[in-house]
Amino acid sequence: MRTKLIAGGVVALLVLAGGTWALLSRTAVPADGPVFTGGAVRAAALVLPGEVQVSSHRRAALSFQVSGTLKTIYVRVGQRVKAGQVLAVLHAANYRRAAAQAAAGLTQAQAQLARVEAPPTSRQQAQYAAQLAAAKAALENAQTGWADAQASYGQGMTDAKDQLSLAQQNLDEAQAAYNDAQQGEQEANLQLTLAQEAYPATAYQVVQAQEAYDQAAGAASGAAAKLAADQTAVQQAQDAVSNPVQLQAALDQARAQLNSAQHAYDQAQAAYELETGPAPATAVDVAQAAVSQAQASYAAAELAVSETRLVAPFAGSVTAVDGVVGGFAGPQAPTVELAAINPHTLRVYAQVAQESVGQVHPGARVVITSRDFPGRHFAGRVLSVAPAATAVQGISTYRVKLGVAGRGELKPGMSVEVHFPS
Protein backbone atom coordinates (compact mmCIF):
# COMPACT_ATOMS: atom_id res chain seq x y z
CA MET A 1 0.00 0.00 0.00
CA ARG A 2 2.85 2.41 0.91
CA THR A 3 4.57 1.61 -2.39
CA LYS A 4 1.39 2.46 -4.26
CA LEU A 5 1.06 5.76 -2.42
CA ILE A 6 4.65 6.74 -3.20
CA ALA A 7 4.28 5.72 -6.81
CA GLY A 8 1.05 7.65 -7.04
CA GLY A 9 2.66 10.75 -5.53
CA VAL A 10 5.57 10.59 -7.95
CA VAL A 11 3.17 10.23 -10.88
CA ALA A 12 1.14 13.19 -9.66
CA LEU A 13 4.27 15.27 -9.13
CA LEU A 14 5.54 14.37 -12.57
CA VAL A 15 2.22 15.29 -14.10
CA LEU A 16 2.17 18.69 -12.40
CA ALA A 17 5.83 19.38 -13.01
CA GLY A 18 5.57 18.17 -16.58
CA GLY A 19 3.21 21.02 -17.30
CA THR A 20 5.67 23.44 -15.73
CA TRP A 21 8.64 22.24 -17.80
CA ALA A 22 6.44 22.29 -20.85
CA LEU A 23 5.59 25.95 -20.04
CA LEU A 24 9.27 26.72 -19.42
CA SER A 25 10.23 25.16 -22.72
CA ARG A 26 7.71 27.40 -24.49
CA THR A 27 8.70 30.56 -22.51
CA ALA A 28 11.46 32.67 -23.94
CA VAL A 29 13.96 33.94 -21.36
CA PRO A 30 15.55 36.99 -22.96
CA ALA A 31 18.71 38.33 -21.41
CA ASP A 32 17.05 41.63 -20.69
CA GLY A 33 13.38 40.71 -20.41
CA PRO A 34 11.62 39.23 -17.38
CA VAL A 35 9.08 36.43 -17.64
CA PHE A 36 7.41 35.09 -14.50
CA THR A 37 5.82 31.66 -14.32
CA GLY A 38 4.09 29.90 -11.49
CA GLY A 39 3.44 26.33 -10.51
CA ALA A 40 5.38 23.44 -9.00
CA VAL A 41 8.93 22.39 -9.79
CA ARG A 42 9.42 18.77 -10.83
CA ALA A 43 12.38 16.77 -9.60
CA ALA A 44 15.54 18.17 -11.15
CA ALA A 45 18.68 16.35 -12.18
CA LEU A 46 20.84 19.08 -10.60
CA VAL A 47 20.09 21.75 -8.02
CA LEU A 48 22.63 24.51 -7.29
CA PRO A 49 22.50 27.23 -4.65
CA GLY A 50 22.86 30.71 -6.09
CA GLU A 51 22.67 34.41 -5.34
CA VAL A 52 20.81 37.17 -7.14
CA GLN A 53 23.01 40.05 -8.27
CA VAL A 54 22.55 43.00 -10.54
CA SER A 55 24.99 43.80 -13.30
CA SER A 56 23.92 47.42 -13.67
CA HIS A 57 22.97 48.88 -10.29
CA ARG A 58 22.74 52.64 -9.84
CA ARG A 59 23.26 53.95 -6.32
CA ALA A 60 23.71 57.41 -4.85
CA ALA A 61 24.63 58.58 -1.35
CA LEU A 62 23.06 62.04 -1.38
CA SER A 63 24.31 64.83 0.87
CA PHE A 64 23.64 68.54 1.03
CA GLN A 65 26.31 70.66 -0.62
CA VAL A 66 25.86 73.31 2.07
CA SER A 67 25.77 72.90 5.84
CA GLY A 68 22.86 73.64 8.13
CA THR A 69 20.11 72.30 10.35
CA LEU A 70 17.68 69.76 8.91
CA LYS A 71 14.20 71.23 8.71
CA THR A 72 12.19 68.44 7.07
CA ILE A 73 12.76 64.92 5.71
CA TYR A 74 10.06 63.96 3.23
CA VAL A 75 10.95 60.30 2.59
CA ARG A 76 11.39 57.05 4.47
CA VAL A 77 13.32 53.86 3.81
CA GLY A 78 11.72 51.75 1.07
CA GLN A 79 9.78 54.65 -0.44
CA ARG A 80 9.81 55.00 -4.23
CA VAL A 81 10.72 58.48 -5.49
CA LYS A 82 10.77 60.19 -8.86
CA ALA A 83 13.66 62.02 -10.46
CA GLY A 84 13.65 65.63 -9.26
CA GLN A 85 11.58 64.88 -6.15
CA VAL A 86 12.56 66.84 -3.03
CA LEU A 87 13.83 64.44 -0.38
CA ALA A 88 14.80 66.80 2.48
CA VAL A 89 15.36 70.51 3.16
CA LEU A 90 17.54 72.59 5.48
CA HIS A 91 16.61 75.76 7.32
CA ALA A 92 17.54 78.33 4.66
CA ALA A 93 16.96 81.70 6.38
CA ASN A 94 20.68 82.50 6.63
CA TYR A 95 21.29 81.56 3.01
CA ARG A 96 18.34 83.68 1.86
CA ARG A 97 19.69 86.67 3.81
CA ALA A 98 23.08 86.16 2.20
CA ALA A 99 21.42 86.04 -1.22
CA ALA A 100 19.55 89.28 -0.47
CA GLN A 101 22.80 90.97 0.57
CA ALA A 102 24.49 89.71 -2.58
CA ALA A 103 21.61 91.08 -4.66
CA ALA A 104 21.98 94.47 -2.96
CA GLY A 105 25.72 94.42 -3.62
CA LEU A 106 25.10 93.66 -7.27
CA THR A 107 22.63 96.54 -7.54
CA GLN A 108 25.17 98.88 -5.93
CA ALA A 109 27.97 97.75 -8.25
CA GLN A 110 25.75 98.20 -11.30
CA ALA A 111 24.79 101.71 -10.12
CA GLN A 112 28.47 102.59 -9.64
CA LEU A 113 29.27 101.39 -13.15
CA ALA A 114 26.44 103.54 -14.50
CA ARG A 115 27.77 106.58 -12.61
CA VAL A 116 31.29 106.04 -13.94
CA GLU A 117 30.10 105.71 -17.51
CA ALA A 118 27.60 108.61 -17.32
CA PRO A 119 28.84 112.15 -18.22
CA PRO A 120 28.81 114.69 -15.33
CA THR A 121 26.18 117.43 -15.14
CA SER A 122 27.09 121.12 -14.98
CA ARG A 123 25.99 121.20 -11.37
CA GLN A 124 28.30 118.33 -10.53
CA GLN A 125 31.17 120.01 -12.32
CA ALA A 126 30.63 123.22 -10.32
CA GLN A 127 30.42 121.24 -7.09
CA TYR A 128 33.71 119.43 -7.66
CA ALA A 129 35.39 122.66 -8.79
CA ALA A 130 34.33 124.36 -5.56
CA GLN A 131 35.64 121.45 -3.51
CA LEU A 132 38.96 121.61 -5.34
CA ALA A 133 39.25 125.39 -4.78
CA ALA A 134 38.55 124.98 -1.06
CA ALA A 135 41.13 122.21 -0.79
CA LYS A 136 43.68 124.38 -2.60
CA ALA A 137 43.09 127.32 -0.22
CA ALA A 138 43.45 125.01 2.78
CA LEU A 139 46.70 123.67 1.35
CA GLU A 140 48.09 127.19 0.86
CA ASN A 141 47.21 128.08 4.46
CA ALA A 142 48.92 124.94 5.68
CA GLN A 143 52.00 125.74 3.61
CA THR A 144 52.12 129.22 5.17
CA GLY A 145 51.70 127.72 8.62
CA TRP A 146 54.55 125.31 7.93
CA ALA A 147 56.84 128.12 6.82
CA ASP A 148 55.95 130.13 9.93
CA ALA A 149 56.55 127.11 12.15
CA GLN A 150 59.97 126.57 10.60
CA ALA A 151 60.84 130.23 11.13
CA SER A 152 59.58 130.10 14.72
CA TYR A 153 61.61 126.98 15.35
CA GLY A 154 64.77 128.62 14.02
CA GLN A 155 64.20 131.78 16.03
CA GLY A 156 63.39 129.79 19.13
CA MET A 157 66.62 127.82 18.81
CA THR A 158 68.58 131.06 18.37
CA ASP A 159 66.97 132.53 21.47
CA ALA A 160 67.66 129.36 23.43
CA LYS A 161 71.31 129.42 22.46
CA ASP A 162 71.58 133.11 23.42
CA GLN A 163 69.96 132.32 26.74
CA LEU A 164 72.45 129.51 27.26
CA SER A 165 75.37 131.86 26.52
CA LEU A 166 74.05 134.44 28.96
CA ALA A 167 73.45 131.81 31.64
CA GLN A 168 76.96 130.49 31.18
CA GLN A 169 78.35 134.04 31.54
CA ASN A 170 76.38 134.54 34.74
CA LEU A 171 77.62 131.21 36.01
CA ASP A 172 81.23 132.16 35.36
CA GLU A 173 80.75 135.45 37.23
CA ALA A 174 79.04 133.67 40.12
CA GLN A 175 81.88 131.16 40.31
CA ALA A 176 84.46 134.00 40.52
CA ALA A 177 82.42 135.79 43.19
CA TYR A 178 82.08 132.56 45.15
CA ASN A 179 85.82 131.99 45.01
CA ASP A 180 86.49 135.56 46.27
CA ALA A 181 83.93 135.14 49.05
CA GLN A 182 85.51 131.90 50.18
CA GLN A 183 88.96 133.56 50.27
CA GLY A 184 87.57 136.53 52.26
CA GLU A 185 85.98 134.15 54.72
CA GLN A 186 89.25 132.32 55.20
CA GLU A 187 91.18 135.59 55.80
CA ALA A 188 88.57 136.84 58.32
CA ASN A 189 88.75 133.54 60.13
CA LEU A 190 92.55 133.87 60.36
CA GLN A 191 92.31 137.42 61.82
CA LEU A 192 89.74 136.21 64.34
CA THR A 193 92.02 133.40 65.43
CA LEU A 194 94.98 135.77 65.91
CA ALA A 195 92.86 138.22 67.92
CA GLN A 196 91.56 135.43 70.13
CA GLU A 197 95.09 134.24 70.85
CA ALA A 198 96.09 137.77 72.07
CA TYR A 199 92.97 138.08 74.31
CA PRO A 200 92.32 139.75 76.77
CA ALA A 201 94.89 142.43 75.84
CA THR A 202 93.15 142.66 72.45
CA ALA A 203 89.51 142.28 73.46
CA TYR A 204 88.40 145.09 71.18
CA GLN A 205 90.25 143.56 68.24
CA VAL A 206 88.46 140.22 68.88
CA VAL A 207 85.05 141.85 68.63
CA GLN A 208 86.03 143.59 65.39
CA ALA A 209 87.50 140.38 63.94
CA GLN A 210 84.33 138.43 64.84
CA GLU A 211 82.16 140.99 63.05
CA ALA A 212 84.46 140.90 60.02
CA TYR A 213 84.29 137.08 59.95
CA ASP A 214 80.51 137.03 60.19
CA GLN A 215 80.24 139.41 57.25
CA ALA A 216 82.68 137.34 55.21
CA ALA A 217 80.83 134.10 56.04
CA GLY A 218 77.51 135.68 55.02
CA ALA A 219 79.00 136.88 51.75
CA ALA A 220 80.36 133.39 51.04
CA SER A 221 76.96 131.81 51.73
CA GLY A 222 75.22 134.26 49.39
CA ALA A 223 77.79 133.62 46.68
CA ALA A 224 77.23 129.85 47.03
CA ALA A 225 73.46 130.26 46.66
CA LYS A 226 73.86 132.43 43.55
CA LEU A 227 76.31 129.91 42.10
CA ALA A 228 73.80 127.09 42.57
CA ALA A 229 71.02 129.15 40.95
CA ASP A 230 73.22 130.00 37.97
CA GLN A 231 74.19 126.34 37.59
CA THR A 232 70.48 125.42 37.41
CA ALA A 233 69.88 128.15 34.86
CA VAL A 234 72.72 126.85 32.68
CA GLN A 235 71.33 123.29 32.88
CA GLN A 236 67.84 124.47 31.86
CA ALA A 237 69.29 126.48 28.98
CA GLN A 238 71.27 123.46 27.81
CA ASP A 239 68.11 121.31 27.94
CA ALA A 240 66.22 123.89 25.89
CA VAL A 241 68.90 123.76 23.20
CA SER A 242 69.38 119.97 23.13
CA ASN A 243 65.69 119.04 23.51
CA PRO A 244 63.38 121.86 22.39
CA VAL A 245 60.10 120.11 23.28
CA GLN A 246 57.70 122.99 22.74
CA LEU A 247 59.37 124.16 19.56
CA GLN A 248 59.45 120.63 18.14
CA ALA A 249 55.78 120.04 19.04
CA ALA A 250 54.72 123.19 17.20
CA LEU A 251 56.81 122.17 14.18
CA ASP A 252 55.34 118.63 14.15
CA GLN A 253 51.80 119.98 14.36
CA ALA A 254 52.41 122.29 11.41
CA ARG A 255 53.89 119.41 9.41
CA ALA A 256 50.89 117.17 10.17
CA GLN A 257 48.48 119.92 9.09
CA LEU A 258 50.45 120.37 5.87
CA ASN A 259 50.36 116.62 5.12
CA SER A 260 46.63 116.44 5.81
CA ALA A 261 45.92 119.43 3.59
CA GLN A 262 48.07 117.96 0.81
CA HIS A 263 46.20 114.64 1.01
CA ALA A 264 42.82 116.40 0.93
CA TYR A 265 43.94 118.45 -2.07
CA ASP A 266 45.14 115.35 -3.93
CA GLN A 267 41.80 113.64 -3.31
CA ALA A 268 39.86 116.70 -4.45
CA GLN A 269 42.05 116.95 -7.57
CA ALA A 270 41.51 113.26 -8.39
CA ALA A 271 37.75 113.55 -7.80
CA TYR A 272 37.57 116.63 -10.00
CA GLU A 273 39.44 114.94 -12.85
CA LEU A 274 37.43 111.76 -12.47
CA GLU A 275 34.00 113.36 -12.27
CA THR A 276 34.37 116.27 -14.69
CA GLY A 277 36.44 114.62 -17.40
CA PRO A 278 35.82 111.51 -19.48
CA ALA A 279 35.83 108.34 -17.43
CA PRO A 280 39.30 106.77 -17.59
CA ALA A 281 39.52 103.26 -18.92
CA THR A 282 40.90 102.03 -15.60
CA ALA A 283 37.88 103.38 -13.70
CA VAL A 284 35.49 101.69 -16.11
CA ASP A 285 37.46 98.45 -15.89
CA VAL A 286 37.41 98.56 -12.10
CA ALA A 287 33.66 99.20 -12.05
CA GLN A 288 33.00 96.42 -14.56
CA ALA A 289 35.18 94.03 -12.55
CA ALA A 290 33.18 94.93 -9.44
CA VAL A 291 29.95 94.13 -11.29
CA SER A 292 31.34 90.79 -12.48
CA GLN A 293 32.43 89.90 -8.96
CA ALA A 294 29.05 90.92 -7.55
CA GLN A 295 27.28 88.81 -10.18
CA ALA A 296 29.41 85.80 -9.25
CA SER A 297 28.69 86.36 -5.55
CA TYR A 298 24.96 86.61 -6.23
CA ALA A 299 25.00 83.44 -8.37
CA ALA A 300 26.89 81.59 -5.63
CA ALA A 301 24.42 82.81 -2.99
CA GLU A 302 21.44 81.72 -5.09
CA LEU A 303 23.08 78.34 -5.69
CA ALA A 304 23.58 77.96 -1.95
CA VAL A 305 19.85 78.62 -1.41
CA SER A 306 18.97 75.94 -3.97
CA GLU A 307 21.42 73.55 -2.31
CA THR A 308 19.32 73.65 0.87
CA ARG A 309 16.92 71.29 -1.00
CA LEU A 310 18.07 67.68 -1.44
CA VAL A 311 16.65 66.40 -4.75
CA ALA A 312 16.59 62.87 -6.17
CA PRO A 313 18.85 62.71 -9.26
CA PHE A 314 17.00 59.69 -10.63
CA ALA A 315 13.96 57.56 -9.91
CA GLY A 316 14.52 54.79 -7.42
CA SER A 317 13.98 53.53 -3.90
CA VAL A 318 15.20 55.06 -0.66
CA THR A 319 17.62 52.60 0.95
CA ALA A 320 18.74 54.68 3.94
CA VAL A 321 17.87 57.89 5.78
CA ASP A 322 20.75 59.04 7.94
CA GLY A 323 19.62 62.56 8.88
CA VAL A 324 17.55 63.64 11.88
CA VAL A 325 15.24 66.66 11.85
CA GLY A 326 16.86 69.35 13.95
CA GLY A 327 20.31 67.82 13.54
CA PHE A 328 23.28 69.01 11.54
CA ALA A 329 23.64 68.06 7.88
CA GLY A 330 26.15 68.97 5.23
CA PRO A 331 28.63 67.69 2.66
CA GLN A 332 30.48 65.60 5.26
CA ALA A 333 27.94 62.75 5.39
CA PRO A 334 25.02 61.53 3.24
CA THR A 335 21.52 62.30 4.41
CA VAL A 336 19.57 60.00 2.06
CA GLU A 337 20.76 56.98 0.08
CA LEU A 338 18.98 56.08 -3.14
CA ALA A 339 19.13 53.02 -5.38
CA ALA A 340 17.64 52.28 -8.79
CA ILE A 341 17.34 48.61 -9.72
CA ASN A 342 16.55 47.53 -13.28
CA PRO A 343 14.88 44.11 -13.14
CA HIS A 344 16.05 43.46 -16.71
CA THR A 345 19.66 43.36 -15.52
CA LEU A 346 19.24 40.80 -12.71
CA ARG A 347 21.61 37.87 -12.82
CA VAL A 348 21.98 34.72 -10.74
CA TYR A 349 25.42 33.35 -9.99
CA ALA A 350 25.99 29.76 -8.84
CA GLN A 351 28.95 27.43 -8.37
CA VAL A 352 28.87 23.94 -9.93
CA ALA A 353 31.18 21.15 -8.81
CA GLN A 354 33.70 19.74 -11.26
CA GLU A 355 31.95 16.39 -11.46
CA SER A 356 28.63 18.07 -12.40
CA VAL A 357 29.86 20.76 -14.79
CA GLY A 358 29.13 18.48 -17.74
CA GLN A 359 25.39 18.87 -17.05
CA VAL A 360 25.53 22.66 -17.36
CA HIS A 361 25.64 24.22 -20.83
CA PRO A 362 25.17 27.83 -22.04
CA GLY A 363 21.62 28.27 -23.28
CA ALA A 364 20.20 25.58 -21.01
CA ARG A 365 16.86 26.51 -19.46
CA VAL A 366 16.41 26.27 -15.71
CA VAL A 367 13.87 26.97 -12.99
CA ILE A 368 14.86 29.31 -10.16
CA THR A 369 13.12 29.22 -6.79
CA SER A 370 13.42 31.28 -3.63
CA ARG A 371 12.22 30.70 -0.09
CA ASP A 372 11.10 34.34 -0.14
CA PHE A 373 8.45 33.34 -2.72
CA PRO A 374 7.06 29.94 -1.67
CA GLY A 375 5.24 28.11 -4.44
CA ARG A 376 6.66 30.33 -7.18
CA HIS A 377 9.42 29.76 -9.63
CA PHE A 378 11.14 31.90 -12.23
CA ALA A 379 12.31 30.94 -15.66
CA GLY A 380 16.04 31.22 -16.26
CA ARG A 381 18.74 30.41 -18.75
CA VAL A 382 22.44 29.66 -18.50
CA LEU A 383 24.37 32.56 -20.00
CA SER A 384 27.91 31.36 -19.44
CA VAL A 385 30.10 28.87 -17.58
CA ALA A 386 33.54 29.93 -16.39
CA PRO A 387 36.24 28.34 -18.54
CA ALA A 388 38.49 27.73 -15.56
CA ALA A 389 37.74 26.23 -12.17
CA THR A 390 38.25 27.93 -8.84
CA ALA A 391 39.81 25.76 -6.13
CA VAL A 392 38.87 26.39 -2.49
CA GLN A 393 40.22 23.98 0.14
CA GLY A 394 40.93 21.38 -2.53
CA ILE A 395 37.43 21.56 -4.06
CA SER A 396 37.18 22.80 -7.66
CA THR A 397 34.05 24.59 -8.82
CA TYR A 398 32.99 26.56 -11.89
CA ARG A 399 31.09 29.81 -11.77
CA VAL A 400 27.78 29.77 -13.66
CA LYS A 401 26.09 32.99 -14.80
CA LEU A 402 22.33 32.81 -15.46
CA GLY A 403 19.71 35.21 -16.73
CA VAL A 404 16.52 35.31 -14.70
CA ALA A 405 13.03 36.34 -15.69
CA GLY A 406 10.62 38.21 -13.48
CA ARG A 407 8.95 41.52 -12.79
CA GLY A 408 11.28 42.80 -10.12
CA GLU A 409 10.30 40.36 -7.38
CA LEU A 410 13.83 39.05 -6.92
CA LYS A 411 16.19 41.50 -5.28
CA PRO A 412 19.98 41.67 -5.26
CA GLY A 413 21.44 39.62 -2.42
CA MET A 414 18.60 37.06 -2.27
CA SER A 415 19.56 33.39 -1.99
CA VAL A 416 17.95 31.11 -4.59
CA GLU A 417 18.11 27.54 -5.91
CA VAL A 418 18.77 26.75 -9.58
CA HIS A 419 17.01 23.61 -10.85
CA PHE A 420 18.38 21.94 -14.00
CA PRO A 421 15.99 19.57 -15.82
CA SER A 422 16.88 15.93 -16.14
For residue 11, pLDDT over 80 is answered with: no
For the beta carbon of residue 41, count every other beta carbon within 10 angstroms.
21
For residue 10, pLDDT over 50 is answered with: no
Topology of domain 60-90+308-338 in CATH is OB fold (Dihydrolipoamide Acetyltransferase, E2P) (2.40.50)
Calculate mean pLDDT across residues 308-312: 96
Under the banding of pLDDT at 50, 70 and 90, the label for residue 43 is low
Topology of domain 2-56+342-420 in CATH is Elongation Factor Tu (Ef-tu); domain 3 (2.40.30)
Q: What is the 3-state secondary structure (H, E, C) of 53-118?
A: EECCEEEEEECCCCCEEEEEECCCCCCEECCCCEEEEECCHHHHHHHHHHHHHHHHHHHHHHHHHC
- Least confident range of 54-63, 152-161, 356-365: 54-63
| Beta carbons of 347 and 368 less than 8 angstroms apart | no
The Cα 245–Cα 249 span in angstroms is 6
pLDDT digits (tens, 9 = 90+) for 72-84: 999 998 888 999 9
pLDDT digits (tens, 9 = 90+) for 170-227: 899 889 888 988 898 898 898 888 888 877 756 788 888 888 888 988 888 988 998 8
The Cα 414–Cα 231 span in angstroms is 112
For residue 59, pLDDT over 80 is answered with: yes
- Of 417, 407, 400, 416, nearest to 341 (Cα)? 407
Element (H, E) at 321: strand 316-321
Please give the C-alpha separations between residue 84 and each of 56, 67, 299, 315, in angstroms, as whole numbers. Answer: 21, 21, 21, 8
Element (H, E) at 217: helix 203-242
pTM (two decimals): 0.43
Under the banding of pLDDT at 50, 70 and 90, the label for residue 44 is low
Mean pLDDT of the chain: 84
Per-residue pLDDT, 27: 41
pLDDT digits (tens, 9 = 90+) for 233-282: 889 888 888 888 888 888 899 999 999 999 999 999 988 887 776 666 78
| Beta carbons of 4 and 346 less than 8 angstroms apart | no
- 9-18, 108-117, 332-341, 348-357 — which one is most confidently predicted on average? 348-357
pLDDT digits (tens, 9 = 90+) for 371-404: 999 989 899 999 999 999 999 888 999 999 999 8
**Residues ≥6 apart with Cβ < 8 Å to 250:** 149, 152, 153
- Sequence-ordered alpha helix ranges (H) in 118-202: 122-197
Per-residue pLDDT, 280: 67
- Strand 395-404 relative to strand 346-353, pairing: antiparallel
The Cα 419–Cα 422 span in angstroms is 9
Per-residue pLDDT, 84: 95
The Cα 38–Cα 117 span in angstroms is 80
**Bigger pLDDT: 49 or 17?**
49
pLDDT digits (tens, 9 = 90+) for 319-374: 899 989 999 999 998 999 998 877 677 899 999 999 999 999 999 999 999 999 99
Architecture of domain 122-272: Orthogonal Bundle (1.10)
